[in-house]
Amino acid sequence: MALAIYRKYRPKSFGEFLGQREISEVLKNAARQNRLAHAYLFCGPRGTGKTTAARLLAKLANCLTRKTDSSFHQKGEPCNYCVHCSDIDAGKALDVIEIDAASNRGIDEIRNLKEGIRLSPAVHDHKVVIIDETHMLTKEAFNALLKTLEEPPAHAILVLATTEYEKVPPTISSRCQRFYFRKLPVEEIKSKLKRIALAEKIQATDEALELIASAAEGSLRDAESLFDQMASFSGSIDAEAVEKNLGQVGLARIVTLAGHIFENNLSAALQYIGKLNEGGYNVVDLNKELIHYLRRVISLKVDPNLATLFERQFTAKDLDQLKKHGELVDMNKHINLLRSLIRAYSEMRYSPFASVPLEIAIIENLQKKE
């Protein structure tokens, strides 16, 4: 069975770790100074590298080369070739324990974990326990974990990972060093996909990779899974194939439709919607993406400083187009249009005539000045 792309190209060092530069530097500096903490809480959206960072931390704590080579130790990176690093990469390390709290959420499982932590490591210097989806633990399980987090054995490191930080009790989070993982920028995800395409000898257009990166909504793992899915259809990936298979409309088509709207060209806007509908594109998704695009254009018109934030979501070329459309904004008119599109979106999801609410919303808001 072929290894999934997101597993095959999982970062093996903090130098390869994308999108979380500050977190990487803090952990590397802690390793250089031999100041790795006994408990960490990694929180953030799915697919942003929490479990990967936990495994890199396990390698940092147990790397034999770091232990014996003082000059390499100052790099703050695992060597990736000693037996300990190799075992952790292969998932064979006896002293690196990964638990899915979604299926091991009760007090009995945590009590067993506490007993196991107190035993000395079998092979490595440190026993590292990674508890994924920590927020799924029961109240009793959290209480059982408290004392271990507060006073763990010297050889133990606990890493808690969660996508829902607000569900973790303050008594737990206060006993950990907390790191917040952010969604990755579209450009960084796209660059990683380009490297994977090159390594796998898969032909993929820039537009297709950008659409995949955008559809992943900041999750590198989701982007790599989508790329894997598209690559399985054929040896090449283009934007049209991505749009058809994912049911999403690419940014280029959204920009074209938005252009007709900002130019107040009702006829062109309706014809374009009809063309996409006849072509089998998902018009509900078209409206959703149009709403997101218009609210960004309007927000940028109100506060040009938001361009810094949008740099994480758009390429430089797309951001320039966003700014050009911002110059055409009529605040009252386009805010009313946005309200109409939001209302139309609710209607489209349950209507047998999906394109009709969208067309009516555009007619109502554009025909007034014709």
Residue 116: which CATH number?
3.40.50.300
Residue 85 has what pLDDT?
A: 93
Predicted TM-score (pTM) of this structure: 0.77
Higher pLDDT, 252 or 335: 335
Residue 103 has what pLDDT?
A: 81
The answer to whether the beta carbons of residues 6 and 184 sit under 8 Å apart is no
Q: What is the pLDDT of residues 137-195, one digit of tens each?
A: 888 888 888 888 888 888 999 999 999 999 999 999 999 999 999 999 888 898 999 99
Same-domain check for residues 161 and 97: yes
E-strand stretches of 92-132: 96-100, 127-132
Same-domain check for residues 305 and 361: yes
Pull the structure tokens for residue 167: 């569900």
Same-domain check for residues 233 and 338: no
SS (H, E, C) the chain: CCCCHHHHCCCCCHHHCCCCHHHHHHHHHHHHCCCCCCEEEEECCCCCCHHHHHHHHHHHHHCHHHHHCHHHHCCCCCCCCCHHHHHHHHCCCCCEEEEECCCCCCHHHHHHHHHHHHCCCCCCCCEEEEEECHHHCCHHHHHHHHHHHHCCCCCEEEEEEECCHHHCCHHHHCCCEEEECCCCCHHHHHHHHHHHHHHHCCEECHHHHHHHHHHCCCCHHHHHHHHHHHHCCCCEECHHHHHHHHCCCCHHHHHHHHHHHHCCCHHHHHHHHHHHHHCCCCHHHHHHHHHHHHHHHHHHHHCHHHHHHHCCCCCHHHHHHHHHHHCCCCHHHHHHHHHHHHHHHHHHCCCCCCHHHHHHHHHHHHHHHC
**Quick one: average pLDDT of 16-43?**
92
Same-domain check for residues 192 and 167: no
Same-domain check for residues 208 and 102: no
Would you say residue 329 has pLDDT above 70?
Answer: yes
Would you say residue 2 has pLDDT above 70?
Answer: no
Sign of CA dihedral 172, 177, 183, 188: negative
Q: What is the pLDDT of residues 240-258, one digit of tens each?
A: 778 777 766 677 888 899 9
The answer to whether the beta carbons of residues 297 and 325 sit under 8 Å apart is yes
Name the average pLDDT for the chain. Answer: 87
Same-domain check for residues 54 and 169: yes
Q: Burial-class residue 221 by CB neighbours within 10 Å (0-12, 13-18, 19+).
A: buried
Same-domain check for residues 21 and 162: yes
Would you say residue 63 has pLDDT above 90?
Answer: yes
Residue 247 has what pLDDT?
A: 62
Reported confidence tier of residue 196, pLDDT bands at 50, 70, 90:
very high
**Quick one: average pLDDT of 51-73?**
92
What is the tally of structural domains in the chain? 3
CATH number at residue 281: 1.20.272.10
Query: Which of the residue ranges 170-179, 281-290, 339-348 would you say has the lowest mean pLDDT?
Result: 281-290
Number of C-beta neighbours around residue 242 at 10 A:
27
**Quick one: average pLDDT of 268-282?**
87
Same-domain check for residues 300 and 359: yes
Residue 370 has what pLDDT?
A: 42
Question: Quick one: which of 324, 341, 323 has its CA closest to 285?
Answer: 341
Query: Residue 86 carries which side chain, given as an amino acid letter?
Result: S
Last residue of a domain, one of 127, 161, 180: 180
CATH number at residue 232: 1.10.8.60
Last residue of a domain, one of 180, 203, 236: 180
Highest mean pLDDT among 166-170, 229-233, 350-354: 166-170
Longest dimension (CA), the chain: 79
Reported confidence tier of residue 318, pLDDT bands at 50, 70, 90:
confident
Same-domain check for residues 126 and 165: yes
Highest mean pLDDT among 41-50, 205-214, 348-357: 41-50
Last residue of a domain, one of 149, 180, 211: 180
Which domain, by its residues, includes 192? Answer: 186-246
Same-domain check for residues 44 and 149: yes
Same-domain check for residues 284 and 240: no
Phi, then psi, of 323 in degrees rounded to 5: -65, -40
Reported confidence tier of residue 368, pLDDT bands at 50, 70, 90:
low
Same-domain check for residues 23 and 132: yes
Residue 291 has what pLDDT?
A: 94
